[in-house]
Amino acid sequence: MFIAKSILPALALPALALAGLALPAFADPLPSWNDGAAKTAIIDFVESVTDPASEQFVPEADRIATFDNDGTLWAEQPLYFQGLYALDVLKAKAETDPSILDSDALKAAAAGDVDGVMAGGMEGLLSVLNVSHSGMTVEDFQDDAAAWVSTATHPTKGMTYADMTYQPMLELLGYLRDEGFSTYIVSGGGVHFIRAISEDAYGIPPQQVVGTEGNTKYEELDGKPVLMKHGGVSFIDDKDGKPVGIDRHIGKRPIFVAGNSDGDFAMLEYAFAGEGPHFGLIVHHTDADREFAYDRDSHVGALDRGLDEAAARGWLLVDMKNDWARVWSGGQ
Amino acid sequence: MFIAKSILPALALPALALAGLALPAFADPLPSWNDGAAKTAIIDFVESVTDPASEQFVPEADRIATFDNDGTLWAEQPLYFQGLYALDVLKAKAETDPSILDSDALKAAAAGDVDGVMAGGMEGLLSVLNVSHSGMTVEDFQDDAAAWVSTATHPTKGMTYADMTYQPMLELLGYLRDEGFSTYIVSGGGVHFIRAISEDAYGIPPQQVVGTEGNTKYEELDGKPVLMKHGGVSFIDDKDGKPVGIDRHIGKRPIFVAGNSDGDFAMLEYAFAGEGPHFGLIVHHTDADREFAYDRDSHVGALDRGLDEAAARGWLLVDMKNDWARVWSGGQ
């Protein structure tokens, strides 16, 4: 069951390939990242923690990577895509029963008026989510959301939402997994909404999605026990809630964290307060042509403190315009 | 990279063994289970869902197994071991500051009087947990609990708590994992307490432990960001809460469920309402000599409805006295 060393040079690569085994990573693991400091920093870190001879070596079980979703793995303008989905659901619901539109925010939502919804602040948006995301089973909700993501189109880009994940980040997720990392989503978005896309879009199974949690109850429906989504929120996985969510669901401090807004500040800080090596990355939205350009004053995904402190804290600022050769996973 | 079929009979087993590969499972995967209907039912189920040629075949990603902890993986008499731990912690705390004992339940707890604590019902026990399980970081709590489990001894059995896990259930967990299942704990106990033992005792990593969750906050302590345990409970992972906890943390319906009390009824029912094959198992405490004998009227781990309905629902009742050749993992 072994090959003599003398015949390895001639046989090893084709034989391994025929056996379906992975070839050594001569290929660029991050082809959509331009060569430069950002790409080099990522690869250097991964190589140092995966090399058993390195002082920075981390065993596979502790190679935990956590990624924010909105603005980090896919776009989030002009509104979190879950919010845009909620508008569409609300509009359909109101056609059957107009009486559900009992506030200005709900009326604006059913009319597709994003600015009108946001005029009511986060409270307005939450009321839209409450009405649109309740009264169905978890399974039905996820099926409906999954269909919407792959068929509905973005108001200004015209692409399906499924096509608006970031190709460089998909490559980063795959690269980390190839190197023995477990990749998690840790998002302020709703856990059920994210799970509707996470496996297909990111290769991340449902048990590796941490998100905001609505009130779910175990009930009987048509004689069958089901999990029903009700209004209200039982856990907010954002800002200081992200380390709490990581503890509840993973129970280990991540060593690789990627985010894009001040909602990810605590998650980055928490990872960097741990012992051993760690890596932090912030996607900076600098590309008004291909994507969107925004940071300190954005109504979604505001990046202010993180922009001020990234350098001093050793967090990598990824300049989307200059560091990414390609933005979208689809639509090429 | 292949061996001609003609030489397989002579070479295959020693060659595979030398190569460090798993041998075919000629060995009994459940040596501490007596031969009989229970053991046969478990093995038949596992073989049917792991055989690609079987109509019952389930892909590895969906082989989710969930286990209750107290009374299913280790003992729970005369009180949940987490409760006994809380009594010891409270006693130590009260020696420094007697003023914390401001209720009858807390006074009884500090005196080690289990009956006195339980006289106050679950409310009394919760107040003991509140005072004993707050005011420290998650990491400090888990370190302390882990040390207690492997050094403190049980009031009547005299064994360490670490020795009071059930050998047949450890074998079952290992067997399922060998057959491509992901094994989870889904317990009414506190998630941090269970994680203090889950990896060492059961081979279950922290991200596969679902439990009751206390209020945890991200705070600064001595200039370092930490997760602090506070009083109060934010999620109760018991009874109808178990399917909710499974959805939050796993996002898939389990196909193998093991429990021992009516606290596990909803988890069993939920699994059996899913499509495809599923297996349910209830450990029935019938062994007054080696362990404890209790069911319908027990103050912990009461099994009443489950005992009545197990047969009709197709759940396997494991008779500890007759089905298990050995009970404890330690102390042999």
Q: What is the pLDDT of residues B57-67, one digit of tens each?
A: 999 999 999 99
CATH number at residue A268: 3.40.50.1000
Per the CB < 8 A criterion, the answer to whether A194 and A204 are in contact is no
Query: Which residues 6+ apart lie within 8 Å of B321 measured at CB?
Result: B286, B287, B289, B290, B293
Domain that includes residue A184, residue range:
32-49+56-76+158-323
**Candidate from A195, A247, A251 with C-beta closest to B251:** A195
Which residue on chain B is closest to A195 by alpha carbon? B251
Substitution target in B13, B62, B142, B207 with the highest count of A β-carbons within 10 Å is B207
**Candidate from B61, B250, B270 with C-beta closest to A218:** B270
Which residue on chain B is closest to A246 by alpha carbon? B207
CA A101 to chain CA mean position, Å: 31
Asked if A71 and A207 sit in the same domain, the reply is yes
Burial of A18 (0-12, 13-18, 19+ CB in 10 A): exposed
Place of tokens 């003023």: B99
Phi-psi region of B155 (alpha: psi -120 to 50; beta: other; left: phi over 0): alpha
CB contact under 8 A, A248 and B206: no
Dump pLDDT digits (tens) for B78-123. 999 999 999 999 999 999 999 999 999 999 999 988 888 888 887 8
Distance CA A32, CA A27 (A): 13
Q: Is B234 helix (H, G, I), strand (E, B) or coil?
A: strand
Q: State the helix-helix crossing angle for A138-151 and A81-96, rounded to 10 degrees.
A: 110
Which residue on chain B is closest to A184 by alpha carbon? B207
- Domain assignment of residue A222, yes or no: yes
- Å from A163 to nearest chain B CA? 24
Mean pLDDT of chain B: 91
Q: Taking 60 as the threshold, does the pLDDT of residue B19 lie above it?
A: no
Dump pLDDT digits (tens) for A248-282. 999 999 999 999 999 999 999 999 999 999 999 99
| CB count in 10 Å sphere of residue A15 | 14
Q: In which band, very low, low, confident or very high, does the pLDDT at A332 lie, cut at 50, 70 and 90?
A: low
* Burial A196-229, CB ≥16 within 10 A → b, else e: bbbbebbebbbbbbbbbbbebebeeeeeebbbbb
- Domain assignment of residue A113, yes or no: yes
CB contact under 8 A, A207 and B249: yes
Distance CA B192, CA B144 (A): 11
Per the CB < 8 A criterion, the answer to whether B211 and A186 are in contact is no
Look at residues A160, A227, A117 and name the one whose alpha carbon lies nearest to residue B252: A227
CB contact under 8 A, A250 and B207: yes
Asked if A117 and A237 sit in the same domain, the reply is no
Asked if A131 and A217 sit in the same domain, the reply is no
> Percentage helix, strand, coil, to 5, in chain B?
45, 20, 35
Select the more confidently predicted residue: B9 or B248.
B248
* CA count, 13 A, side-chain hemisphere, B126: 12
Q: Taking 80 as the threshold, does the pLDDT of residue A75 lie above it?
A: yes
**Candidate from A15, A19, A218 with C-beta closest to B243:** A218
ipTM: 0.90
Residues from chain B that touch A207, judged by Cβ atoms under 8 A, are 182, 207, 249-252
**Candidate from A18, A227, A241 with C-beta closest to B244:** A227
Substitution target in A185, A192, A195, A218 with the highest count of B β-carbons within 10 Å is A218
Asked if B270 and B194 sit in the same domain, the reply is yes
Q: Taking 90 as the threshold, does the pLDDT of residue B10 lie above it?
A: no
Which residue on chain A is closest to B270 by alpha carbon? A225
Residues from chain A that touch B216, judged by Cβ atoms under 8 A, are 244, 247-248
Dump pLDDT digits (tens) for A10-60. 334 444 444 445 555 568 999 999 999 999 999 999 999 999 999 999 999
- Domain assignment of residue B330, yes or no: no
Asked if A71 and A167 sit in the same domain, the reply is yes
Q: Which helix (H) or strand (E) holds B281?
A: strand B279-286
φ/ψ of A29, rounded to 5, equals -75, -15
Asked if B256 and B202 sit in the same domain, the reply is yes
Distance CA B282, CA B230 (A): 34
**Candidate from A138, A218, A247 with C-beta closest to B216:** A247
Asked if B122 and B266 sit in the same domain, the reply is no
- Å from B19 to nearest chain A CA? 7
Dump pLDDT digits (tens) for B275-298. 999 999 999 999 999 999 999 999
Which residue on chain B is closest to A138 by alpha carbon? B247
A291-299 own/partner pairs: CB under 8 Å, 24+ apart: A291/A75, A291/A320, A291/A327, A292/A75, A292/A77, A293/A321, A294/A77, A298/A77, A299/A118
- Domain assignment of residue A14, yes or no: no
Encode A131-196 in three state secondary structure: HHCCCCEHHHHHHHHHHHHHHCECCCCCCEHHHHEEHHHHHHHHHHHHCCCEEEEEEEEEHHHHHH
The structure tokens listed for B126 are 């919760």
Asked if B177 and B308 sit in the same domain, the reply is yes
Domains contained in chain A, number: 2
Substitution target in B248, B268, B269 with the highest count of A β-carbons within 10 Å is B248
Residues from chain B that touch A248, judged by Cβ atoms under 8 A, are 191, 213, 216
Residues from chain A that touch B195, judged by Cβ atoms under 8 A, are 251
Is omega for the bond preceding B78 within 30 degrees of 0, making it cis?
yes
Q: Taking 50 as the threshold, does the pLDDT of residue B135 lie above it?
A: yes
- Domain assignment of residue A6, yes or no: no
Per the CB < 8 A criterion, the answer to whether B122 and B79 are in contact is no
Per the CB < 8 A criterion, the answer to whether B238 and B188 are in contact is yes
Residues from chain A that touch B234, judged by Cβ atoms under 8 A, are 234-235
Q: Which residues pair with B279 in a beta bridge?
A: B256
Q: Which residues pair with A281 in a beta bridge?
A: A258, A316
CB contact under 8 A, A266 and B227: no
Residues from chain B that touch A225, judged by Cβ atoms under 8 A, are 243, 266, 269-270, 273
- Domain assignment of residue B19, yes or no: no
Burial of B95 (0-12, 13-18, 19+ CB in 10 A): exposed
- Å from B192 to nearest chain A CA? 8
Q: Taking 70 as the threshold, does the pLDDT of residue A5 lie above it?
A: no
- Domain assignment of residue A94, yes or no: yes
The structure tokens listed for B83 are 């409760």
Output the DSSP codes for A70-88.
Answer: BTTTB---SS-HHHHHHHH
Residue B19 sits at the vertex; the CA angle it makes with B16 and B21, to the nearest 5 degrees, is 60
Residues from chain A that touch B273, judged by Cβ atoms under 8 A, are 224-226
Q: Taking 90 as the threshold, does the pLDDT of residue B212 lie above it?
A: yes
Distance CA A302, CA A314 (A): 20
Task: Give the per-residue pLDDT at A26.
Answer: 65
Task: Give the per-residue pLDDT at A14.
Answer: 42
**Candidate from A15, A247, A269 with C-beta closest to B227:** A247
Asked if A103 and A221 sit in the same domain, the reply is no
Q: State the helix-helix crossing angle for B138-151 and B81-96, rounded to 10 degrees.
A: 110
CB contact under 8 A, A207 and B243: no
CB contact under 8 A, A138 and B240: no
Let me know how long chain B is: 332
Counted across chains A and B, CB pairs separated by less than 8 A come out at: 88
Look at residues A255, A276, A312, A266 and name the one whose alpha carbon lies nearest to residue B220: A266
Q: Taking 80 as the threshold, does the pLDDT of residue B229 lie above it?
A: yes
H-helix segments, chain A? 8-18, 37-50, 81-96, 104-110, 114-118, 121-132, 138-151, 167-178, 191-197, 241-249, 265-272, 305-313, 320-323
Q: How far apart are the first and last CA of chain B?
A: 46
Distance CA B30, CA B42 (A): 10
Residues from chain A that touch B217, judged by Cβ atoms under 8 A, are 240, 244
Asked if B107 and B233 sit in the same domain, the reply is no
Per the CB < 8 A criterion, the answer to whether A179 and A50 are in contact is yes
Report the amino acid identity of residue A175: Y
CB contact under 8 A, A218 and B18: no
Cα separations in angstroms, B164 against A325, B129, B190, B332: 58, 22, 18, 11
Give the end of a domain, one of A126, A151, A176.
A151
* CA count, 13 A, side-chain hemisphere, B132: 29
Which residue on chain B is closest to A182 by alpha carbon? B207
Task: Give the per-residue pLDDT at A231.
Answer: 87
Asked if A96 and A63 sit in the same domain, the reply is no
**Candidate from A217, A249, A270 with C-beta closest to B218:** A270
Cα separations in angstroms, B204 against B20, B73, B179, B195: 23, 12, 15, 9
Q: In which band, very low, low, confident or very high, does the pLDDT at B231 lie, cut at 50, 70 and 90?
A: confident
Per the CB < 8 A criterion, the answer to whether A269 and A80 are in contact is no
- Domain assignment of residue B308, yes or no: yes
φ/ψ of A206, rounded to 5, equals -55, -35
Asked if B69 and B94 sit in the same domain, the reply is no
Q: Which chain A residues have any C-beta within 8 angstroms of a chain B C-beta? A: 1, 15, 18-19, 61, 138, 182, 191, 195, 205-207, 209, 213, 216-218, 224-227, 234-235, 240-241, 243-244, 247-252, 266, 269-270, 273
Phi-psi region of A159 (alpha: psi -120 to 50; beta: other; left: phi over 0): beta
